């Protein structure tokens, strides 16, 4: 993918349609600066914005990523190439998310332990102890909730029985027995329960 070429292509099509950067930004719910960033090749649109942007410009995602209109005979080759590149982008984003999960999990535990210690050993009024403990639990439960949400959506789980890769529901991830990120869940493909590993690609 060539960001500069894609950027110039976005600018060209936008002008053909008689739209300003501001109008495109409004249609997509992003800042004007973001559109300008794409057009000058300083960044690609996020994957979730690619389809809406293509709709505004009247092109396909395949063409957006090529930075030009694609003839029918080259279409499949280009699509495969881009699919691979998008998968790599997603895998990198997922890896970043999963490292955030670790930070969140560790922080939640530290906050819970340190506040519980403070509430247990320091001299203070009883009501204050209760407030601190309730606060500590609320913060750590929220932290762990976000961490679990990340684990659910980043990457995939692989069924140990049939090798099927999938994204489970939050409920499944929440209730599953786990050892690190490996969770015991039912595979939607073969319906068997197994210990499923987390993968990003
Ligand atoms: Zn399976």
Count Cβ atoms within 10 A of the Cβ of residue 177 and give its class: 0-12 exposed, 13-18 middle, 19 or more buried: exposed
Structural domains counted in the chain: 2
Going from the Cα of 145 to the center of ligand 1, the distance in angstroms, rounded, reads 26
Gap from CA of 83 to ligand 1 centroid (Å): 25
**52 and 115 share one domain:** no
Domain annotation covers residue 83 = no
CATH number at residue 25: 1.10.260.40
What is the 197 CA–ligand 1 centroid distance (Å)?
Answer: 12
pLDDT digits (tens, 9 = 90+) for 23-72: 999 999 999 999 999 999 998 898 889 999 999 999 998 899 999 988 88
With respect to residue 76, please indicate whether it lies within any of the assigned structural domains. no
Supply the pLDDT for residue 194: 96
**Is 166 part of any domain?**
yes
| pLDDT bracket for residue 201 (50, 70, 90) | confident
Is residue 176 located within the same domain as residue 114?
yes
Q: How far is the CA of 193 from the centre of ligand 1 (A)?
A: 8
Instruction: Check whether residue 131 and residue 193 sit in a common domain.
Output: yes
Domain membership flag for residue 34:
yes
CA distance 141 to 147: 10
Residue 142 in domain? yes
* 121 shares its domain with 160: yes
Q: How far is the CA of 186 from the centre of ligand 1 (A)?
A: 8
CB–CB of 181/151 below 8 Å?
Answer: yes
Mean pLDDT of 142-163: 93
pTM over 0.85: no
Task: Kindly indicate the confidence band of residue 85, based on its pLDDT and cuts at 50, 70 and 90.
Answer: confident
Ligand 1 centroid distance, CA of 88 (Å): 24
Structural domain includes residue 154 = yes
Task: Look up the domain containing 37 and give its range.
Answer: 3-70
């Amino acid at each position: 993918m060539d960001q500069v070429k894609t950027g110039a292509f976005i600018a060209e099509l936008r002008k053909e349609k008689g739209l300003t950067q501001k109008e495109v930004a409004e249609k997509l719910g992003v800042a004007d600066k973001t559109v300008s960033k794409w057009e000058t090749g300083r960044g690609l649109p996020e994957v979730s914005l690619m389809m809406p942007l293509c709709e505004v410009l009247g092109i396909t995602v395949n063409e957006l990523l090529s930075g030009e209109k694609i003839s029918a005979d080259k279409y499949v080759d280009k699509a495969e190439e881009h699919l691979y590149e998008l998968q790599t982008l997603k895998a990198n984003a997922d890896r970043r998310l999963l490292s955030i999960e670790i930070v969140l999990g560790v922080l939640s535990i530290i906050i819970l332990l340190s506040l519980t210690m403070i509430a247990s050993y320091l001299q203070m009024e009883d009501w204050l102890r209760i407030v601190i403990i309730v606060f500590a639990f609320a913060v750590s439960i929220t932290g762990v909730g976000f961490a679990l949400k990340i684990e659910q959506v980043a990457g995939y789980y692989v069924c140990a029985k049939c090798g099927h890769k999938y994204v489970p529901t939050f409920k499944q991830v929440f209730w599953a027995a786990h050892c690190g990120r490996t969770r015991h869940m039912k595979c939607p493909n073969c319906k068997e329960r197994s210990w499923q590993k987390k993968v990003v690609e």
